[in-house]
Structure 1
Amino acid sequence: MLESITFEMLPHAVAILLNEVSELKGLLSQEKENIPKHESSEQFFNVRQTANFLGLTSATIYSKVSRKELPFMKRNGRLYFSKQELLDYLKEGKVNHQDSVSDEVDELLSNNKKGLRYGK
């Protein structure tokens, strides 16, 4: 099955191998396209994982859940948190620095129009 390859035959053997590897890569990419993609590969966390993810303590997570500040699911007495919903929750708290500076300037200017003085 294995032939002895001489040094002179090496370039031809390498060319054959490269061709076969290319054919295999083509077959693999076709096969990869035929694999059905899952609609959602959503990840869920428990309380401890959520605390680690958000950089909070477990007690803080329970407190936020009791005040309904965090999106959560409850099943069989256990709490579960969607990673995507937690990311959305974090993004809701995002403050655009430029907007906050503009708002602060607008507020200062409106206070100044009312006759308020700074620094007193």
Structure 2
Amino acid sequence: MKDTLTFDQLPEAVTKMQEKLDNIEQLLLQRQEQSPEQEELMPITQAAAFLDLAIPTVYSKVCRKEIPVNKRGKRLYFYRSELTEWIKSGRKKTAEEIREEAVQHLAISNKKTKVF
């Protein structure tokens, strides 16, 4: 635990805190500037390369509505962020994660079934 600040130490502490806040603000601004680049639309060739799939495979996934897509005329476009989320949605849980969920579920169920 940190020592309590004295009145004389407050100006220095406030200065350090302001510097840290400025650094956090800069990091957030940099992150916001990077986000629009990820939101650029990709044609099917780039999307297939990003997913490491053959173009016909991407077309078949689009036809089966398995993959997020934007259509303009006869052209298909994909957002990188949507494809990334689509990939993440297919993540399989580890045995430990499943076990932890089961424990939490049982704990909640036991609380509901207790009679007071």
Q: TM-score w.r.t. structure 1 length?
A: 0.49
Report the equivalent of 2:59.
62
Whichever structure has more helix as a proportion of its residues is 2
Gaps of 5+ in 1: 1-32, 103-120
TM-score (norm 2): 0.51
Q: CA deviation at 1:50?
A: 0.6
For 1:97, the equivalent position in structure 2 comes to 94
Q: Tell me how far apart the structure 2 counterparts of residues 84 and 101 of structure 1 sit (CA, whole Å).
A: 27
Aligned-residue CA RMSD (Å) = 2.7
Query: Is 1:53 aligned to residue 50 of structure 2?
Result: yes
| Aligned position for 1:8 | none
Query: Where do 4+ consecutive residues of structure 1 move more than 3 Å?
Result: 99-102
Would you say how many aligned residue pairs link Structure 1 and Structure 2? 68
Q: How does 1:1-120 map to 2 (within 5 A)?
A: 41=36, 42-99=39-96, 102=99
> How far off its partner does 1:99 sit?
4.7
Q: Aligned partners of 2:96 and 2:74: how far apart in 1?
A: 42
Percent of matched pairs sharing the same residue: 39
Provide the rounded CA distance (Å) in 2 between the counterparts of 1:99 and 1:55. Answer: 29
Which structure is higher in RCO with an 8 Å CA cutoff and minimum separation 6?
Answer: 2
